[in-house]
Amino acid sequence: MLNLTNLRESLCGVISDIHGKGWAPGTGGNFSVVLQPQPLTLLMSPSGVDKGQVRASDLIEVNAQGEVIAGAGKASAETQLHLAIVQTTGAGAVLHGHSVFNTLLSRHFEAQGKLAIAGYEMLKGLNGMTTHAATVDLPIFSNHQDMVYLAQQVMPQLASAPYGFLLAGHGLYAWGSTLFEARRHLEIWEFLLEVTYRELTLNPLKSV
Ligand SMILES: CSC[C@@H](O)[C@@H](O)C(=O)COP(=O)(O)O
Ligand SMILES: [Zn+2]
């Protein structure tokens, strides 16, 4: 069982690793873990900071209204999406990044409203998947700056979403029951998105 100090250190370690992989450049990305379910409290990255430099003492605590209840930083506007994911799926952690591959593919397949991925062994990194011989639909939503509106658009599809979704031209949200499961899901999605992109460049006529 992680205590609060360890949880803060663990979340900072995950944020730093994601930034190091180039998946959260230029202050992009936000990251949260559920501190307590009732009343709901998230431990979260502060808004507008370099995500490669977040220290344990920089993390903020936010309530179910997205208000800062502890810490000096500002809450991200995208806290509304973290809250929607946690409240709808029961996730214990939510990780959001802006990688080159998630940004490119989210725009390319926006009109389809989803990206279908099939046949890769790495699909088994998603909780509950036991074979590569399956197709998983990653939902894609149009981006919007009104996060309350965006959360309402996303919410009906969250229960059936494969621990992630894309916002077109924006980025990837991934989640899991724990911080480590959420991190695995983010890494699995980034891998699957990169191979999908590279496969399309190898064989441009292949329809995904
Ligand atoms: C580079 S600006 C990106 C932001 O608008 C946003 O999408 C993002 O992911 C980070 O916002 P933040 O307010 O720091 O949580
Ligand atoms: Zn973002």
In the predicted structure, residue 208 carries a pLDDT above the cut 70: no
CATH 3.30.365.10 fits 4-207, yes or no: no
CB 123 within 8 A of CB 196: no
In the predicted structure, residue 1 carries a pLDDT above the cut 60: no
Rounded to whole angstroms, the Cα distance separating 69 from 78 reads: 16
CB 165 within 8 A of CB 157: yes
Known binding-site residue numbers for Zn(2+): 96, 98
pLDDT, tens digit, 9 for 90 and up, residues 52-88: 999 999 999 999 999 999 999 999 999 999 999 999 9
Q: In the structure, what pLDDT confidence band is assigned to residue 132 with cuts at 50, 70 and 90?
A: very high
State the distance from the centre of ligand 2 to the C-alpha of 169, rounded, in angstroms: 10
pTM of the model: 0.97
Q: Per-residue pLDDT averaged across 87-99, rounded?
A: 98
ipTM score over 0.90, yes or no:
yes
In the predicted structure, residue 133 carries a pLDDT above the cut 80: yes
- What residue spans define the domains of the chain? 4-207
Question: How close are the terminal C-alpha atoms of the chain, in Å?
Answer: 42
Provide the pLDDT for residue 2.
Answer: 63
State the distance from the centre of ligand 2 to the C-alpha of 30, rounded, in angstroms: 7
pLDDT, tens digit, 9 for 90 and up, residues 148-174: 999 999 999 999 999 999 999 999 999
Provide the pLDDT for residue 106.
Answer: 98
In the predicted structure, residue 207 carries a pLDDT above the cut 90: no
Rounded to whole angstroms, the Cα distance separating 49 from 8 reads: 16
Rounded to whole angstroms, the Cα distance separating 21 from 4 reads: 26
Q: Per-residue pLDDT averaged across 130-148, rounded?
A: 98
In the predicted structure, residue 137 carries a pLDDT above the cut 60: yes
Q: Per-residue pLDDT averaged across 29-50, rounded?
A: 98
- The ligand whose atoms approach the alpha carbon of 167 most closely is 2
Q: In the structure, what pLDDT confidence band is assigned to residue 193 with cuts at 50, 70 and 90?
A: very high
Provide the pLDDT for residue 14.
Answer: 98
Q: In the structure, what pLDDT confidence band is assigned to residue 204 with cuts at 50, 70 and 90?
A: confident
State the distance from the centre of ligand 1 to the C-alpha of 47, rounded, in angstroms: 7
pLDDT, tens digit, 9 for 90 and up, residues 7-28: 999 999 999 999 999 999 999 9
Residue of 47, 59, 76, 79 to test ligand 1 pocket, by largest number of atoms within 8 Å of CB: 76
Rounded to whole angstroms, the Cα distance separating 68 from 70 reads: 6
Nearest 5°: the CA angle 61, 179, 64 is: 35
Which protein residues have a CB closer than 5 Å to ligand 2 (ion)?
171
